[in-house]
Amino acid sequence: MSFPLMMAAQQSLNTEPIYKFTNTKENAIVGVDNQCQTGTCWSFATTSFIESEIIRKGGKAVDLSEMVNARIIYPKKADSYVRYQGKQQFGPGGLSHDVMIAVQEYGLVPESVFSGFVNGQTEYNHKALDATLEAVVKATIDSKLNESGNDWKNGVEGILDGAIGKLPTEFEFDGKKYTPVSFRDAMKINPVDYVSLTSFSHHPFYSQFVLEVPDNWAKGSFYNLPLDELQQVMDNAIDNGYTVAWDADVSERGFSFKHGAAVLPTDEITKEELWTRVVPEKSVDQAARQKEFDNFKTTDDHLMHITGKAKDQNGTIYYMMKNSWGTGNLYGGYQYVSKNYFQMKTISIMVHKDALPKEIKKKLGIA
């Protein structure tokens, strides 16, 4: 982030930052967005990640549509909910692999082609849409509407057309004609090149398993690594010009969008003391991480985009994280995540497979 942008954000909040960050590695991104009143962080974070991938691969910066992924995925989620007879979560949430499903099957489009705004809207608000879709799928099961064919599915499509927009089949961008698939290919994005990883000891390491979080409606598989090796992947990626889509618990007292940081304070630090000084953090190991996942103290809350590294005034390393809650904090929408917080509160990450250290890639059997 540029110094003027940082200062403008600080002045607008009239707040002096307690943590003094110096950026040490900044990988390319397109600007900070705002998901507004929607549960589509999974699309905002992963779309931002893809935008950075396009730049990393030598392309120019392109603002991609986030809502096209929601438009593709919502009917799939509705179908899955009905097929499982309502025995799974239905809602707006998702994970990074949902975006890759959409990109694989449909493609990519720029924001200028499909904004997701209808009827003159300028801010997203999906509260009514989410309630309507939930009512439809529940009514489909309760009234056995699926026994009569696919009319209920056509109803879902019509609701989404009205609330988000009809999917484009072709478009013009920068003077050239594309389909979503040809645009994806022109941007050099191949969804099969991206891998999801996690670190939990209730499954064997160096294997894949279906991660047990409610938003994993698609039953996507994740590679499982010991915590120290997940950390190695993270550092290797950022240090070598890659960025990372990050799924984490953000309901912790040490996660503050306002203050632009995420830290893991020790139990002795009171609520009143937090954000008055740089505080000591809890140490983290595999057992502590697992315990907090097992007892639901670590939950699947929010997806974000990690783009670089920084140090605080004491030389402690943090990750630069681009959120999707607008620019109204100390750092213009960015937050700085401590390594301790990352280790304890990460649910999963997505990276390009080439961002993995060679030895770890070999252990996972990834070509």
The model's pLDDT over 58-85, given as tens digits with 9 standing for 90+, comes to: 999 999 999 999 999 999 999 999 999 9
What's the confidence (pLDDT) of residue 8? 40
pLDDT of residue 134: 97
3-state secondary structure of 259: coil
Fold for 3-364, please state it. Answer: Cathepsin B; Chain A (3.90.70)
The answer to whether residue 194 scores a pLDDT higher than 80 is yes
**Cβ neighbours of 233 (radius 10 Å):** 23
Residue whose pair of structure tokens reads 């699309």 in the numeric block: 43
Q: Is residue 123 predicted with pLDDT exceeding 60?
A: yes
Which pLDDT score is estimated for 201? 98
Q: Which of 348, 350, 345, 322 is nearest to 334 (CA)?
A: 322
Residue 330 has pLDDT above 50, yes or no: yes
Angle between helices 41-56 and 96-105 (to 10 degrees): 60
With a cut of 60, say whether residue 12 has pLDDT above it.
no
Q: For residue 7, what are the contacts with CB-CB under 8 A and spacing of at least 6?
A: none
- Decide if pLDDT at 266 tops 50: yes
DSSP code for 301: -
**Residues 85-114: tens digit of each pLDDT:** 999 999 999 999 999 999 999 999 999 999
Determine the pLDDT at residue 9: 43
Residue 48 reports pLDDT greater than 60: yes
pLDDT band at residue 289 under the 50/70/90 scheme: very high
| Weakest-pLDDT range from 10-19, 271-280, 339-348 | 10-19
Identify the pLDDT of residue 16.
78
15 pLDDT band, cuts 50/70/90, is low
**Where residue 122 falls among pLDDT bands split at 50, 70, 90?**
very high
The answer for residues whose C-beta is within 8 angstroms of residue 62's C-beta and 6 or more apart is 30, 51, 54, 110, 187
Please choose, from the candidates 184, 237, 273, the residue with its C-alpha nearest in 3D space to the C-alpha of residue 351. 237
221-224/194-198 β-pairing: parallel
168 vs 150: CA distance, rounded Å = 22
356 pLDDT band (50/70/90 cuts)?
Answer: very high
For residue 132, pLDDT over 90 is answered with yes
Average pLDDT over the chain, rounded to an integer: 95
Question: Would the pLDDT of 13 be above 70?
Answer: no
C-alpha 235/C-alpha 356 separation (Å) is 10
Chain-centroid distance of CA 38 in Å reads 13
pTM of the full predicted structure?
Answer: 0.95
